[in-house]
Amino acid sequence: MSKLITSIPSLAGRLIQEGRPKLDVFIKYAKVELTPPTPADIPQIRAGLGRLITAARTGSWKNQSVKEGWLNTLVGIEVLCWFYVGECIGKRHIVGYDV
């Protein structure tokens, strides 16, 4: 037991040493990807929605590869799951509302 306790500082130091580069990469991408949209982003958002509506009208969404279709399906499922998680958090119950 004493051997385990004496090895804790070296293990903690090694953990910090190996985890620091990964944490730095995470923070680098989190600063960019997890920020809310700014007013400068609104034209890009409108253009993206316009392309989406145009693709729905013309049927060009049918000309996707299987990989693109599968990725879009997975993104849709992820959005749906986050919606349901938000609903459960909001109502504070898994099933039904507390009236």
The full DSSP string for 78-90 is HHHHHHHHHHHHH
pLDDT digits (tens, 9 = 90+) for 37-89: 899 999 999 999 999 899 889 988 888 899 999 999 999 999 999 999 988 88
pTM above 0.85, yes or no: no
* Ordered alpha helix ranges (H), the chain: 2-33, 42-58, 66-91
Look at residue 98 in the predicted model and tell me its pLDDT.
67
Distance of CA 28 to the CA centre of its chain: 15
Look at residue 40 in the predicted model and tell me its pLDDT.
92
